[in-house]
Structure 1
Amino acid sequence: MDTTALVWIIVGVIVLLVIVGLILYLANRRSRERMEQQRAADRQKAADLRENAAQVELDARENEAQAARAQADAAQAEIDAERLRRESALYESDANKLRDDSSEQARRADEIDPRADDDRPSGSADEARPGDGL
C-alpha cells in the first residue's frame, strides 16, 4: 500500500469522524432545545396551576365568608322569631285580659239589670268572641 492511498484512507476516516461528530452535535443540540422547550412549557404549566390554585383558594375563602354571613343571618332570624313569639304572646295575653274585662263588665251589667238581655243588640260580647272558633 502506498502512502497516497494511506493518506486518503486517513482523510476519509477523519472526514467520516467529522461528519459523525457533526451529526451527534446537531442531534444533541436539538435534543437540548426540545428539553429546554419542554422545561419552559412545564414552567408555564406549573405557573398556571399555581395561579389556578390561588384562585380556588380565594373562592374557598369567599365561600367560607358567605357561609359565615348566612349563619349570622340565620341566627339573627332566630332571634327575631323569638322576639316576635314573645311579642305575640304579650298581645294575646292583652287580648285575653280585655276579653275577660269585657265579660266581667257584661256580667256586672247583667247583675244590675238582668232584663237587659232582651234589649241587647246582636253581636254582643257574650254571643260571639273573635278567636273562639265561631
Structure 2
Amino acid sequence: MELDTSTIIWIVVGVIALIALIAVVAWIATSNRRREAQVEARRREADEMRERAAEVDQAAREREVRAAQADAAARDAQARAAEAELEAERLADASREHRTDAERLRAEQAEHARGAEAVDPDVIDDRDEGRPAQPERTEPERTEPERTEPARSSEPPRTEEPRQPNT
C-alpha cells in the first residue's frame, strides 16, 4: 500500500493533534491536582491557625480568671484593712475613755485624801506650830496613774484579732 504525501502529512498532523490533545488533558488534570493540593494546604494552614487561636483564647481565659482572683484578693485585703482600721479606732477610743476614767478616779481619790486629811486629828497643818501640813506616811500620794513599761521579750505583743462575720 502506497501512501502518498498528503496522507502522510495528514497522519503526522493527526498524531501531532493527538499529542497536543493529550498534553492539554494532562496539563488540565495536573492543574486540577495542583489546585486541589493548594486548597488542601490552605485548609491545613487554616486549621493550624484555628488551633493557635483556640490556644491563645484558652490562655486569655486563664489570665482573665487569674486577674479576677487577684482583684477579689485585693478587695478582700482592702476590706480587712478597713476592718483593722476601724478596730484600731475603737481601741484608741476605748483607751482614751479608760485614761479619762482613770484621771477622774485619781482626782476623786485625791479629793477624798484631802478631805480625810482635813478631818484627821493626827495631821498637823501649817497653822499648828510651824510643822509641815503633810502627815508622815511611808507611801507618797500619787495623782497620776502609774505607768509601767511592758516586759521586753522576743515575742510580739498579742492582740485580739477582729472577729469576722459569718457569711
**2:69 & 2:97 partners in 1: Cα distance?**
42
**Count of aligned pairs between the two proteins:** 123
Structure 1 residues 120, 26: closer, same or farther in 2, change over 3 A? farther
Percent identity for Structure 1 against Structure 2: 25
C-alpha offsets along residues 25-79 of structure 1, whole Å, 9 cap, x if unaligned? 2322322222121111100011011112222222232222223222322222232
> 2:14 — aligned with what?
14
**2:71 & 2:54 partners in 1: Cα distance?**
26
> 1:42 — aligned with what?
42
The one-letter code sitting in structure 2 at the alignment partner of 1:56 is: V
> 2:29 — aligned with what?
29
TM-score (norm 1): 0.74
Task: Compare 30-39 and 66-75 and name the one that shifted more.
Answer: 66-75
The one-letter code sitting in structure 2 at the alignment partner of 1:66 is: R
> 1:96 — aligned with what?
96
Q: Which has the higher contact order (CA 8 A, sep 6+)?
A: 2
More helix by share: 1
Q: Over aligned residue pairs, what C-alpha RMSD do you find?
A: 2.7
Post-superposition offset of 1:8: 0.3
Task: Compare 99-108 and 12-21 and name the one that shifted more.
Answer: 99-108
**1:31 & 1:83 partners in 2: Cα distance?**
77
Alignment of 1:1-134 (within 5 A): 4-113=4-113, 119=140, 125=145
Do the aligned residues in 2 keep the contact of 1:102 with 1:125 (CA within 8 Å)?
A: yes
Bigger radius of gyration among the two: 2
Post-superposition offset of 1:112: 3.7
**2:141 & 2:50 partners in 1: Cα distance?**
87
**1:60 & 1:120 partners in 2: Cα distance?**
74
TM-score (norm 2): 0.61
Q: Secondary structure at the match of 2:52?
A: helix
Post-superposition offset of 1:120: 6.1
Structure 1 residues 120, 27: closer, same or farther in 2, change over 3 A? farther
C-alpha offsets along residues 62-104 of structure 1, whole Å, 9 cap, x if unaligned? 2222232223222222321221122111211121122112222
Point out where structure 1 has 5 or more consecutive residues left out of the alignment.
128-134
The one-letter code sitting in structure 2 at the alignment partner of 1:10 is: W
Post-superposition offset of 1:126: 8.4
